[in-house]
Chains A and B, each alone.
Chain A
Amino acid sequence: MALFKKKVARDESYYLASQWTLMWRKLKKHKLAKFSLAVLAVLYITALFADFFAPYGLEEFSSLYKNTAPTKVYWQDEEGNFSRPYVHKLKKINDKKTWTVIVTEDTSEKYYIDFFVEGIEYKLLGFIPCNTHLYGLVNEQGEVDRSARINIFGADSTGACIFSRILFGGRVSLTIPFVSAAISFVLGILLGGISGYFGGIVDNIIQRIIEVLSAIPSIPLWMALSAAIPPGISVSAMYLYITIILSFIGWTGLARVVRGKFISLRKEDFVMAAKLAGVSDFKIIVKHLVPGFLSYLIVNLTLGIPGSILGETSMSYLGLGMKAPATSWGVLLKETEDLVSVAQCPWKMIPLIFVVITVLAFNFLGDGLRDAADPYK
């Protein structure tokens, strides 16, 4: 009896559940989507608390560690016994005869990896003064020693820790690209939708506007922008403004697709039925037509994000990208874009993995959302 009652209760909750609850339930069953969500959560949390998770700040430069490989971590001492993990400091010799820089380890001293160590000061979440970092090095006396470094992903051309920079860069690259993608997205759907739904003169005007906009070359526009932006403006703010401006031009592609789709759907029976039932045009567009090709929209959105992250890489050629001390994944990728980096410092390509992971996670999450939103499944 009890069993029976419980089943009824569940069924009722299923039928009474709102659309969102249903979607959430379906999403939870989608393993890859759930995993992607977890990955994204980790990325966002580490970006938010980057000051804590990153062992070093963005300006902890070091000529000793310039362009050095990921730090080797030892688990065994000289006798081969397991030991607390430690690293050695580096030694660098410039050999002018062979024109090479020889990097070796200075094995005379050990630096142990420790957790919750003191480092440079920062403000957690922007207001809590703090100087604890997740991990760092202590010397044999157990004191914090910042002359030796542990760069788990190696160091860049200023000797800064690439892992730290990835975390800090995530703050920009996991947020701003979405602003521009979202603006293009909304404008594209709205204007494309109106154009396709109403047709006639409205369509004609919007299509001509699209043609004019897509004829505009972006480079002189960027150059004009870069001249117009006063120095001293915060780099992230500048980057945000530029992406916003560009997204006001970037919506045309999506708008054409939405229009094409709407033209073919607007005479469908369900639209006619909705019209006869007195549903407003706006509601028909948003509630009846847009869900009809949600998959495409999700694809468009997920593809817009890497485009936006990489877009910054090309903007920096004109002096419009992020600048020191700010960092972003686009900046990190740009620093890899030369033969010498690829040949000598392959570890500089690690940020690429993060971009790929983010894009894949969003894509799989999008897939899951689409399946979840599909009432037929």
Chain B
Amino acid sequence: MLKYIGKRLLLFIPTLIIISFVIFFIIQLPPGDYVTSYVAAMSAEGEVFTPEDIAYLREHFGLDDPWFVQYLNWIKGIVTEGDFGYSFEYGRSVWSVIMDRLYLTLAVSFIILLFQYGVSLPIGIYCANHQYSAGDYALSFIGFIGTATPNFLLAIIIMYYIYVTTGNVYLGLFSTEMLQNGMRWEYVPEFLGRCMIPLIVIGTSGTCGIIRTVRAQMLDEQARQYTLTARAKGCSEATITYKYCLRAALNPVVSGMAGSLRTIFSGSTVSAIVMNLAIQGPVLLTALKSQDMYLAGTIVLIQAVLVLLGTLLSDIALAWLDPRIRFSERG
């Protein structure tokens, strides 16, 4: 197993080289560059630019080089000095921009991930064990409403009706007062109340997939011969459910986790906007849209590293869950 992990880690290097190249290519693919979007944004605010101004800006930002030269410089900086380049938008090093929001992002994404799996796994198991019961239907129904409603809309509906009934707007995790005075004990109840909205929005939209997956897998597993054998041997239902079926049923959930790890770093952009949270997602969104290349490139690159790690971890978890799986052997 260790040999296998070592081999996989070595494979990271060529994969990352390809990924960084592809990422950089795609980010600069839309026509125009950062200067175009910068000039556009400033013109919208009433500033006037002459063609000389624009040429000066482009030279100044080093955008008059071809994109692969920019790419090579960027990679050179990363490899030789650990320097991820410079954000045009913020006028600072990319790393300092990322650090601004790193901790809140990690905390928020982690809580959300925990919530998603914590809620959806038990519900999925319940639905499978009570297939076609009222509870199964009700939970499916709620889940599908959540999936079929855009998060934006759901958040607006919930916030508006809370406003109509209580007269308060719960926008973001912190109220203006909390931000102004810092956290105090008396704010805790309101803070918890504010946490509910994002949890409801994300809970109903993100959990449905996991619930349905676990439910379907459990149903498949329960119909298998080994379950029948176990039951015939007199195993308790709990043992059958948790020791045998769930292990096999988790397979697709674990495979899918590779992608979840990536969102830890940026957080979901939509939910960030809905919740008005200062996390990485919106920074990435604006960086991609304005072609702030080094900032966007670095965030996406870190996400890619997380995807690689996530894939590796989920492969290891697969082998751990299911003893039949052997990766090291030759197919």
Contact = CB atoms under 8 A, between A and B. Distances in A.
- Direct contact, A vs B (beta carbon within 8 Å): yes
Interface of A: 198-204, 207-208, 210-212, 214-217, 219-221, 223-224, 227, 253, 256-257, 259-261, 263-264, 267-268, 292-296, 298-300, 302-303, 306-307, 309-310, 313-314, 333-334, 336-339, 342-343, 349, 352, 355-356, 359-360, 363, 370, 374, 376-377
A214 B22 contact: no
B157 interface: yes
Nearest to A296: B216
Contacts of A260: 251-252, 254-255, 314, 318
B197 interface: no
Contacts, number: 179
Given A256-B255, A374-B223, 13 more contacts: A207-B311, A211-B307, A212-B15, A215-B23, A216-B23, A217-B23, A220-B296, A221-B29, A256-B314, A260-B318, A261-B255, A343-B160, A359-B147
Interface in B243-289: 248, 251-252, 254-256, 258-259, 262, 270, 284-285, 288-289
A299 B26 contact: no
B116 to A, nearest CB: 14
Closest CB pairs A-B (n = 10): A199-B331, A295-B216, A200-B331, A260-B255, A215-B304, A223-B30, A257-B252, A224-B29, A299-B212, A219-B288
Contacts of B26: 216-217, 220-221, 224
B68 interface: no
A339 B150 contact: no
Q: Which of B160, B212, B259 has the most chain A CB atoms inside 10 A of its CB?
A: B212
Contacts of A339: 156, 160
A370 B288 CA distance: 42
B151 to A, nearest CB: 9
Interface string B290-331: 010000100011011001100100100010001011010111
Contacts of A313: 150
B192 to A, nearest CB: 24
In the complex, which of the residues A208, A211, A352 has the most CB atoms of chain B within 10 Å of its own CB atom? A211
Contacts of B160: 339, 342-343
Contacts of A211: 15, 19, 304, 307-308, 311
Given A253-B256, A264-B324, A296 B213 contact: yes
B15 A296 contact: no
A330 to B, nearest CB: 9
Nearest to B27: A220
Given A203-B331, A261-B251, A293-B220, A299 B213 contact: yes
B289 A219 contact: yes
A349 B161 CA distance: 14
Nearest to A261: B251
Contacts of B23: 215-217
A294 B153 CA distance: 33
Contacts of B22: 212, 215-216
Interface stretch (B137-145, B174-182, B234-242): B137-145
Interface string B1-40: 0000000000100010011001100111111000000000
Contacts of A360: 140-141, 144
A166 B273 CA distance: 28
A356 B145 contact: yes
**Interface of chain A, helix or strand or loop or mixed?**
helix
Given A212-B19, A256-B256, A257-B252, A310 B148 contact: yes
B217 A295 contact: yes
A278 to B, nearest CB: 19
Given A200-B330, A215-B304, A224-B29, A377 B223 contact: yes
A319 to B, nearest CB: 12
Contacts of B172: none
A310 B19 contact: no
Contacts of B28: 220
A81 to B, nearest CB: 39
23 contacts: A200-B330, A200-B331, A210-B311, A211-B308, A215-B303, A217-B284, A220-B27, A220-B30, A220-B291, A256-B314, A257-B251, A259-B255, A260-B255, A260-B314, A261-B252, A292-B220, A293-B252, A299-B212, A303-B147, A310-B148, A337-B156, A339-B156, A356-B145
A267 B331 contact: no
B148 A352 contact: yes
Nearest to A336: B153
Contacts of B147: 303, 306-307, 359
A310 B270 CA distance: 13
Given A257-B255, A355-B148, A224 B30 contact: yes
Contact of B288 (A220, A227, A333): A220
A116 to B, nearest CB: 34
A347 B127 CA distance: 33
B219 interface: yes
Contacts of B329: 199
A212 B11 CA distance: 13
Contacts of B296: 217, 220
Contacts of B258: 256
B56 interface: no
Contacts of A363: 140, 144, 212
A303 B153 contact: no
B49 interface: no
A213 to B, nearest CB: 9
A259 B314 CA distance: 12
Contacts of B256: 253, 256-257
A267 B324 contact: yes
B73 interface: no
Interface string B207-227: 011001101110110010000
A162 to B, nearest CB: 15
Contacts of A374: 223
